[in-house]
Structure 1
């Protein structure tokens, strides 16, 4: 079917579905995307009434699903080796922090295949569990309380939010988008006149009839080939999200329900009380220890340890530019020498991705994946985006 290209109506729909005010290619979104799947098998192509791309996007925007439970299969194929022990080093993990801390634990979604169990009952009750062969990690948001529990270490992490219920963030306690709905919101919010929307047939996901919305960049230079979203025909809820790279091959990100129920979960689903002997870490106490060990945190509005963010370009070829502080070891990264404090396995991981480049900006190293490329210059600047290496160097020259 023809692409949805009405700019006025598209703009109105984008505003309606906006959940996050961040371009898809900036560092935060790029990092989040790394935290996410190969395509899940569809079980049929149902015969559904015809629908335009505009109508399907409006259907997603109008969806009022607030209660559901189910199982999500998520897989990431960035073409990277397993992060293993390097994950905490690359994401700033602290050896003194709790193993149940969501900021550290959710980085495990950065590679491989994972099975998640999810449940939601409105804005103030959600639960996410990562299921392993012999253990389970759960993140529970229930009113003003956020609990995380790691059964492997028998450790729990607790945070409290005293704001009024209406002011609490829906994904309180975590930043990484892991459900098809969260991923869809990010992509549609960031789309503009640089994007083509089409309806690409139908599918059956988790026993539900669904339409397939296909989103493609119109710009050259993006590493994104297409995003395909399976949308529940009845409720408008995204059931599956697949991101394929422009280079071809397996999907980089594929997250989808294998089971889903739109009934209200039992209230007991969101109950949690640590058992006797469980080590409990309070978020405010850990934050105080972190401040003592690492000094005051940056001002609000700045990313940790970096100067202000600048976005070069727009749409799918947006590139984030930022300046690392002088003591960050950025020059060491670009030259291949390990910065102080970086674990050896993390440095080895980075070295395996490095590719020396030069341009008007000077010289530096590009670290590449199938989706996100990052250029660290020898003078301590960082350029990152879901763009090709050539597009990244061009942006650095322009910056």
Structure 2
């Protein structure tokens, strides 16, 4: 089970990309040749259709674009990589390590080929010009290959098994739909907003939106396959406007069973192979070194030590704010390692109020206020809402 949990951190759930892509999005204008004429359906019926979907096999091409409103990560990640050790030199986890490669999906536009054959076999290939990065889960093994560096990552122990989940799930799609709508309550609007054509398939558009003011989320739109209930695309839009925060979905999809050979992996000639256990040990050493470098950041460096009792939730629904008391002064960006300084400065705005003074770190969705006396307020809410929460806490 330990190995299973460890491996699950690395595998991008390929099936989930088509089944429950709850953070990746759909552009409203999807149809190239007119929206399909489909029978009318209620939001509850559409949620029931999603819940009843039992898609186990699929293959296709998936495109994802992410715009968090952040500066480019390349320079920052490059500096961190140097500090943590360069895989090519043998001092770090290596360029084939999934935890390093898949951070690329946090920004920019990427094309992926994906395939799935149940919970035991998935494959994802990230295309980058002539270079490719492949991640394969086949039974109890995970393989990853970076063609640019000719490096391989390998880990065993990803097999199925272990105890069943303790939480009981609703017994039927209707019960699940009822639970979803009940949980939405007065804070959320769930509607069906027309139809769309996605990857050549007819789909309904399910739109989820906050009713509360102060949230940074404008709406979430999911394109649901009209025939089998599989989500095909999904848009997360911010109240700040512009491009969707995340816009992803299939451009081609086939629900047939992929060939078994699709999930075979042979180590390329001359490739360097790194085992998962070695990567884990190397990562822990690198994290210790990075913590030492971040020592001057005070409260920021201490966030990992919080227990559950240190976090208080203010409000509910879409405007909930987590309040954390670090017990240490806020970090000073000028004391951060050089590769972090410009990045932190570009994110932060100085603010003040009854609470005192602090800095708001912003993205298009999640914002955080760090006060000078070590309090942290985080939520998918506007900076003004964070300042109001800090003032009210005084």
Give the TM-score of the pair, scaled to structure 1: 0.76
**Counterpart check, 1:222 vs 2:215:** yes
**Of 336, 351, 359, the match for 1:365:** 359
**Counterpart check, 1:349 vs 2:343:** yes
**Counterpart check, 1:307 vs 2:306:** yes
Separation (CA, whole Å) in 2 of partners of 1:124 and 1:258 = 24
Separation (CA, whole Å) in 2 of partners of 1:125 and 1:252 = 30
**Structure 2: runs of 5+ lacking an equivalent:** 1-20, 86-91, 166-176, 290-301
Separation (CA, whole Å) in 1 of partners of 2:248 and 2:24 = 11
**Of 24, 27, 31, the match for 1:42:** 31
Residues 269 and 98 (structure 1), Cα distance of their counterparts in 2 relative to 1, 3 Å cut: same
**Of 120, 126, 129, the match for 1:124:** 120
Give the CA RMSD over aligned residues: 3.2
Residues 111 and 129 (structure 1), Cα distance of their counterparts in 2 relative to 1, 3 Å cut: same
Which of 1 and 2 has greater Rg? 2
The equivalent residue for 1:243 is 236
The equivalent residue for 2:321 is 319
Higher helix share: 2
Residues 392 and 83 (structure 1), Cα distance of their counterparts in 2 relative to 1, 3 Å cut: same
**Structure 1: runs of 5+ lacking an equivalent:** 1-31, 170-184, 297-302
CA contact (8 A) 1:40 1:256 kept: no
The equivalent residue for 2:204 is 211
**Of 140, 150, 156, the match for 1:144:** 140
**Of 187, 195, 198, the match for 2:188:** 195
The 3-state SS of whatever aligns with 1:227 is strand
The equivalent residue for 1:68 is 58
CA contact (8 A) 1:93 1:104 kept: no
**Of 66, 91, 108, the match for 2:104:** 108
Separation (CA, whole Å) in 1 of partners of 2:134 and 2:390 = 41
Aligned residues: 338
Residues 363 and 53 (structure 1), Cα distance of their counterparts in 2 relative to 1, 3 Å cut: same
**Counterpart check, 1:283 vs 2:283:** no
> What do the CA deviations read for 1:230-262 (whole angstroms, capped 9, x no partner)?
100001000110111112232121111100000
Residues 236 and 38 (structure 1), Cα distance of their counterparts in 2 relative to 1, 3 Å cut: closer
The 3-state SS of whatever aligns with 1:54 is helix
CA contact (8 A) 1:35 1:110 kept: no
CA contact (8 A) 2:24 2:247 kept: no
The equivalent residue for 2:75 is 85
Give the TM-score of the pair, scaled to structure 2: 0.77
Separation (CA, whole Å) in 2 of partners of 1:83 and 1:64 = 37
Between stretches 203-212 and 364-373, larger displacement belongs to 364-373
> What do the CA deviations read for 1:256-280 (whole angstroms, capped 9, x no partner)?
1100000011111111122232122
The 3-state SS of whatever aligns with 1:358 is strand
CA contact (8 A) 1:62 1:236 kept: yes
The equivalent residue for 2:369 is 375
